[in-house]
Amino acid sequence: MAVIASHAHRFIFTKTRKTAGTSVEIALSKVCGPDDIITLISPEDEELRKASGGRGPQNYESPPLPRKAFNHMSARLARDAVGPTAWRSYFKFAIERNPWDAVVSLYYWKYKDRPELPDFEDYVNEVWIEQLANNKRMYRIRGRIAVDRVLRYERLADEFAEVWEHLGLPGKPELPYAKGQARPAGHYRDIYTPASRERVRQVFADTIEAFGYEF
């Protein structure tokens, strides 16, 4: 389901991959109450959440939920977990990212523990980027956007602050630095060839059209 579902503040956050979603859920967990739903993240990120003063995982099991909640759950399953009334009435949001940038981010993250990176051209032709394109399932149901807002990763701090204010959350949003250490400096365009650029364009065609992303 959603990674965070707050009954106290009436919002649902559905977490996409490689979009700083962990940082956002850590920030949100700091304003959650004892009855809110918070799903598990990795042990190292749970340590960061604890150090940031956020609530740990809670209320995500089934029962009492109709189904167990888990990380990167689709919007359809999130709706099933929280129930139709909460899904209809709560403010729902997710994050999306320029696909060419997201693919490079996943490349460095996936192979961060290897002494040598595999060829990028081979990587973009594997199944991993097709799985990454399933980010759209975290905010779409039957192909239609099913959340109230999709934040842009490229403007995340500003747009998250707007959502924070819209929800009337206490304090100010602070995004901890989670999972950002794997990628070297440089622009994502530098790693692409015309063939790999076209492969991403085809796989993420829906996302590119919906949000107007350009290479």
pLDDT tens across 62-117, in order? Answer: 888 888 888 888 999 999 999 999 999 999 999 999 999 999 999 999 998 888 89
CATH classification of the domain holding 48:
3.40.50
E strand or H helix at 5, and its extent?
Answer: strand 4-6
Give the rounded percent of residues in the chain with a pLDDT score beyond 70. 96
The answer to whether the beta carbons of residues 126 and 134 sit under 8 Å apart is no
- Orientation angle between helical segments 43-52 and 21-29, nearest 10 degrees: 40
**For 142-146, 175-179, 209-213, which range has the lowest pLDDT when averaged over its residues?**
175-179
Owning domain of residue 94: 4-211
Q: Is residue 4 pLDDT above 60, yes or no?
A: yes
Identify residue 192 by its one-letter amino acid code: Y
Indicate the number of domains in the chain: 1
pLDDT at 71: 80
- CA 124 – CA 130 distance, rounded (Å): 9
Q: Which amino acid is at 185?
A: A
Beta carbons of 27 and 51 less than 8 angstroms apart: no
Q: Provide mean pLDDT across the span 183-193.
A: 87
Res 134 pLDDT > 60: yes
Which range (50-54, 60-64, 206-210) has the least confidence? 60-64
User: What's the confidence (pLDDT) of residue 182?
Assistant: 64
- Counting residues of the chain whose pLDDT is more than 90, the rounded percentage is 80
pTM of the model: 0.92
Task: Report pLDDT for 1.
Answer: 47
State which H helix or E strand residue 65 sits in: none
* 82 SS3 class: helix
Q: Which residues pair with 4 in a beta bridge?
A: 13, 38
